[in-house]
A and B are shown apart, each in its own frame.
Chain A
Amino acid sequence: MHIIDRYAYSNAIRELDPAQKGGLALIALLLCLALNQPAVGLLTLGWMFALNTLWARVPASVFGRALLAEAPFLLLSLVGVAVSVSLSPPLMPAVRIGPLWLGSNAESVALATRLFTRALGCAAALNFLILTTPLLDLIELLRRLRVPETLIDLMSLTYRAIFVLLESLQRMATAQDARLGYAGPWRALRSAGLLGSQLFLDAYRRSQRLQMALESRGLAGPLRVLPLDYRRDRRARWFGAALAASLLLAGAWR
């Protein structure tokens, strides 16, 4: 989590208006999803990889690792799509394991391939957005899109508190570990339980202290923060147009 957050703040196009980056990612995401063809999926992946490494200067290895986060789900569910299970021999090439027949044919493999490339392309588009845009900028974007104020408040509070609580969690876990709190599975579970309860107390008390501190500074109603100054880049528009045109072309060409 720290890795994605770190590159979101330190990449070369961090200052760019989140609406432009969000627009680019959205074009890629929606076209890739709607056109639903292997060529489009791979092209989206290529585009997003190029924008990430050449434009935003995020290392290729980071992009790859973010994509790998979903590998277990993707591969397991692709098996589910590609392989059919039945109790009697099906009308397709199949192997027998015990009483079950596991079969597959060209059609379901083609569906799995389409799904694989589409999911890769869409995930790459999402990763482009999150590796180049800090979460606070995304929340600011949501505020401009008129998402209810309460929700914006909850999201920015959650984001700010996550790292504080995570640090407190890690410190407690290290202390427990140093006292052999994680030797053996049963003791590890007990330690995790204690950790969870202390974390809850920590969160609760922090919210009370924050409330007191903000009230003494005159808090009434929602928390307002000033948006940053964003840079707008004309290239983003050209990238968007080229991206949309190439994806549509790849989708039309079979």
Chain B
Amino acid sequence: MDKRWKRWLLVVIGAALLLLFEGRPAYAMHIMEGFLPPLWAAFWFVVTLPFWVIGLRQINRLIAEKPETRLLLGLAGAFTFVLSALKIPSVTGSSSHPTGTGLGTILFGPMVMSVLGTIVLLFQALLLAHGGLTTLGANAFSMAVVGPLVAWGIWKGLKDRAPVWVTVFLAAALANLSTYVVTSVQLALAYPDAVGGFAASFVKFGTIFAVTQIPLAISEGILTVLIFNALQTNAETELQTLGVLKGA
């Protein structure tokens, strides 16, 4: 009996390792459809709702002031989605997809990003079968709310105190990293460990996904610095219209 369990355990761990080192590009971590129990799925919708309301109000105000914002934000949503389909070489040698939330937040602001990020997540579920509808609240909280808020905090806090590239790198990399940490917390809350409870479960999920997610955060940070540098030389007027370079 005892021996059989051990053998199964090794098979399962082996299969997981195999999946990790398989060549497929790694996506940011979204909780799949049906993985969260109904109560937790509903809970994360309720938590995210205020951010959607604030974001939508801000967008409505922007559109009332400048009608061209409507089209700009529509294209910005498509830009973020397509950016997340971009394959970038990862630090470990395999390749991965960025989330685009760090760059999006620097360009459009965190509250607008809470709405745009949710649209991107919804489209990833509907066009790529990646993520889900019942888990949209949880995924939106980690990628469209916490990620942008972290990026915004770093961008605002460090803007005049550190070189621009350091600020951009930290904003994008930590936004990506916080998305992964929040998702691990969400999984751990829903499925606490049989022995160690929430804390052990958090460490467990964090470790399992760290192999793909930490290199992903670093490469997204580097990529965002490179994009931002190129934008500063090629798209100065556009950036000024968006208000990124105001006073800088």
Contact = CB atoms under 8 A, between A and B. Distances in A.
Contacts, number: 285
A94 B6 CA distance: 6
Given A154-B73, A197-B234, A82 B12 contact: yes
Contact of A201 (B41, B132, B235): B235
Given A76-B208, A84-B194, A93-B5, A115 B235 contact: no
Interface of A: 1, 4-5, 29, 32-34, 36, 66-67, 69-77, 79-86, 90, 92-95, 102-105, 107-108, 111, 115, 118-123, 125-127, 130, 135, 138, 148, 150-151, 153-162, 164-166, 169, 185, 188-190, 192-201, 203-204, 206-208, 210-211, 214, 219, 222-223
Given A33-B38, A104-B9, A138 B16 contact: no
Contacts of A162: 78, 81-82, 123, 127
28 contacts: A4-B129, A67-B129, A69-B129, A72-B20, A72-B22, A75-B19, A86-B196, A86-B200, A92-B195, A95-B6, A95-B10, A104-B5, A108-B194, A111-B191, A119-B32, A119-B33, A119-B34, A120-B34, A121-B34, A123-B33, A130-B127, A165-B78, A165-B79, A166-B85, A196-B226, A203-B78, A206-B75, A211-B71
A169 B227 contact: no
Given A154-B115, A169-B82, A210-B71, A73 B123 contact: no
A151 B76 contact: no
Q: Looking at chain A's contact residues, is the secondary structure mostly helix, strand, loop, or mixed?
A: helix
Contacts of B74: 153-154, 156-158, 161, 207
**Chain B interface residue number, banded:** 35 or more
A214 B213 CA distance: 42
Interface string B164-207: 00000000000000000000000100010111100011011100
A189 B132 contact: no
Q: Looking at chain B's contact residues, is the secondary structure mostly helix, strand, loop, or mixed?
A: helix
Contacts of A223: 70
A189 B88 contact: yes
A204 B79 CA distance: 9
B54 interface: no
B223 A204 contact: no
Contact of A75 (B15, B88, B132, B194): B15
Given A76-B16, A204-B72, 16 more contacts: A67-B129, A72-B20, A77-B205, A79-B208, A84-B204, A104-B5, A120-B34, A123-B132, A154-B116, A156-B74, A160-B78, A192-B89, A197-B227, A197-B228, A207-B76, A223-B70
A192 B221 CA distance: 12
